[in-house]
């Protein structure tokens, strides 16, 4: 089933402000919250859908990529699972619980925030990684799967990312008594003000490791390499950034992994030049060929095609081979291959060749110049586009 437009999901326009997007998401999340719709699978899916849309539209960089490339510029290019990659309802609460101020209970009561200060134990998030992937024109035209080796932090295999030597190597934080949060009261000119923040002793985790894993020194992560397969859709362009959810650096002690940001770069083609979804080929013909007409072999991304050049074709004329360009990254058709005709003039001639051309100067066919009714090159270009 095709994904719905994120703006449609939240019921906002493309020009909506960040605050409007936030309010729209809050409204949808409250409407479809699992506590209000127990056992309703459809409501649960809409709850997840709204969270996925908000995850993209709240971030200016992700929103810009979505506006430019649609769903193809999001995590769908990484091989499925949606852009956000939320594994369950708890993961959504962990990410956005602070938006609701703890109005709901259940599933952690929206209290499992990361570092947003939202009402529960703090969950760490690993940093994002950025890599460049270089593609040929053929790979861009057809789409490709690349396997790249990335050096990054991964979950410690000896402690399963907990940072503790074993399950008994913990004690409850005495400062926050296991809540992960501390409340402070300060006297101000306006009276007493109460603030709540992550516990400074346990960094919001609610517990302290008493016996650390010796392999990761209690961090829960180690440095390693991972080979990551990336599915790149057809039609991507120079500078486009794809997102592979959860394939960045692993977080400390079982937190949420960061993302892998894949930046596309294009290799120059020896014969074809890209112009959006169109391709341009410069065809050079000799004077006899363009005068008498000929058949030329034109390269495309997949193979070569033969094109008939009519006798008397004028220099700078453009021939359009429809559908021989690149596919649109959002699936809106395919570009064309534009063949621009040029005349190759030899710099050196033999005496015999000079005599032949001198005879042509006086012949009737070469005495008549271009008629005033013939269109200029720029007029022809206007007709083409």
The answer to whether 341 and 285 are in contact (CB under 8 A) is yes
Rounded Cα distance between 320 and 380, Å, is 12
User: What's residue 81's pLDDT?
Assistant: 37
Check if the beta carbon of residue 25 is closer than 8 Å to that of residue 50.
yes
Q: Is residue 298 within 8 Å of 357, Cβ to Cβ? A: no
Closest to 131 in 3D by CA, of 246, 260, 267, 266 = 260
Q: Which of 304, 279, 290 is nearest to 341 (CA)?
A: 290
Yes or no: say if 102 and 111 are a contact pair by the CB < 8 Å rule: yes
pLDDT of residue 104: 40
Look up residue 137 and give its two tokens.
């024109």
Q: What's the CATH number for 123-161+221-267? A: 2.60.260.20
Burial (Cβ within 10 Å: 0-12, 13-18, ≥19) of residue 170:
middle
pLDDT at 371: 61
CA 232 – CA 234 distance, rounded (Å): 7
pLDDT at 337: 96
Q: Which architecture does CATH list for 272-366?
A: Sandwich (2.60)
The pLDDT value given to residue 92:
60
Binding residues for Zn(2+): 156, 159, 173, 176, 199, 202, 213, 216
Give pLDDT tens digits along the chain (385 positions).
567 899 999 999 998 998 899 999 988 888 888 767 777 888 888 888 998 899 899 988 888 888 877 887 775 433 333 344 454 555 565 555 555 444 343 333 333 334 433 444 556 788 999 999 999 999 999 999 999 999 999 999 999 888 888 878 889 999 988 888 888 887 766 667 777 888 888 877 888 888 999 999 988 999 999 999 999 999 999 999 998 988 999 988 878 889 999 999 999 999 999 999 999 999 999 988 998 999 999 999 989 999 999 998 999 999 999 999 999 988 889 999 999 999 988 888 899 988 888 888 877 777 666 665 555 554 554 454 4
Q: HSE of 278 in the Cβ direction (CA atoms, 13 Å)? A: 15
Residues in the chain: 385
Fold match between domain 6-76+86-98 and domain 123-161+221-267: no
Q: How far is it, in rounded angstroms, from Cα 298 to Cα 304?
A: 5
Query: Measuring CA to CA, which residue among 262, 121, 137 is closest to residue 203?
Result: 121
Of all residues in the chain, what percent are helix, strand and coil, respectively (each to 5)? 25, 30, 45
Binding site members: 156, 159, 173, 176, 199, 202, 213, 216
What pLDDT sits at residue 87?
47
- In angstroms, rounded to a whole number, what is the distance separating the alpha carbons of residues 288 and 265? 41
Residue 108's pLDDT is 32
Looking at residue 193, what is its pLDDT? 76
- Under a CB-based contact definition with an 8 Å cutoff, are residues 336 and 323 in contact? yes
Residue whose C-alpha is closest to residue 125's, from 255, 28, 7: 255
Q: Distance between CA atoms of 89 and 265, rounded to whole angstroms?
A: 36
User: What is the pTM assigned to this prediction?
Assistant: 0.59
> CB atoms < 10 A from the CB of 307, how many?
16
CA–CA dist 112, 116 (Å, integer): 10
Half-sphere exposure of 277 (CA within 13 A, CB side): 17
With a CB cutoff of 8 Å and minimum separation 6, the contacts of 33 are: 47, 104
- Give the architecture-level CATH label for domain 6-76+86-98: Orthogonal Bundle (1.10)
Give Cα 277 distance to the centre of its chain.
Answer: 18
Question: Taking the domains of the chain in order of start, what are their residue ranges?
Answer: 6-76+86-98, 123-161+221-267, 272-366
- The per-residue pLDDT for 206 is 83
């Amino acid at each position: 089933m095709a994904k719905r437009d994120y703006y449609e999901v939240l019921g906002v326009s493309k020009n909506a402000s960040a605050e409007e997007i936030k309010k729209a998401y809050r409204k949808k999340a409250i409407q479809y919250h699992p506590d209000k719709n127990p056992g309703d699978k459809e409501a649960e899916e809409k709850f997840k859908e709204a969270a996925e849309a908000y995850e993209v539209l709240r971030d200016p960089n992700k929103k810009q990529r979505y506006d430019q490339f649609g769903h193809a510029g999001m995590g769908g290019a990484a091989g499925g699972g949606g852009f956000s990659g939320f594994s369950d309802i708890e993961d959504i609460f962990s990410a956005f619980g602070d938006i609701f101020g703890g109005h709901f209970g259940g599933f952690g009561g929206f209290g499992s925030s990361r570092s947003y200060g939202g009402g529960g134990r703090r969950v760490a998030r690993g940093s994002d990684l950025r890599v460049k992937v270089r593609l040929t024109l053929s790979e861009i035209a057809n789409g490709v799967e690349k396997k790249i080796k990335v050096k990054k932090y991964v979950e410690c295999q000896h402690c399963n990312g907990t940072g503790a030597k074993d399950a008994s190597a913990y004690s409850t934080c005495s400062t926050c008594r296991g809540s992960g949060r501390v409340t402070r009261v300060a006297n101000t000119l306006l009276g007493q003000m109460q603030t709540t923040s992550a516990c400074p002793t346990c960094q919001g985790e609610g517990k302290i490791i008493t016996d650390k894993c010796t392999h990761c020194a209690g961090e829960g992560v180690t440095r390693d390499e991972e080979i990551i397969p990336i599915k790149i859709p057809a039609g991507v362009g120079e500078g486009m950034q794809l997102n592979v959810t959860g394939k960045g650096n692993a977080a400390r002690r079982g937190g949420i992994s960061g993302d892998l940001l894949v930046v596309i770069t294009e290799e120059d083609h020896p014969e074809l030049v890209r112009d959006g979804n169109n391709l341009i080929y410069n065809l050079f013909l000799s004077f006899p060929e363009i005068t008498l007409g000929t058949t030329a072999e034109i390269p495309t991304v997949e193979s070569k095609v033969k094109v008939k050049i009519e006798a008397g074709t004028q220099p700078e004329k453009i021939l359009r081979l429809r559908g021989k360009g690149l596919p649109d990254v959002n699936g809106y058709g395919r570009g064309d291959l534009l063949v621009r005709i040029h005349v190759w003039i030899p710099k050196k001639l033999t005496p015999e060749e000079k005599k032949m051309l001198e005879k042509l100067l006086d012949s009737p066919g070469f005495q008549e110049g271009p008629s005033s009714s013939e269109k200029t090159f720029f007029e022809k270009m206007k007709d083409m586009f």
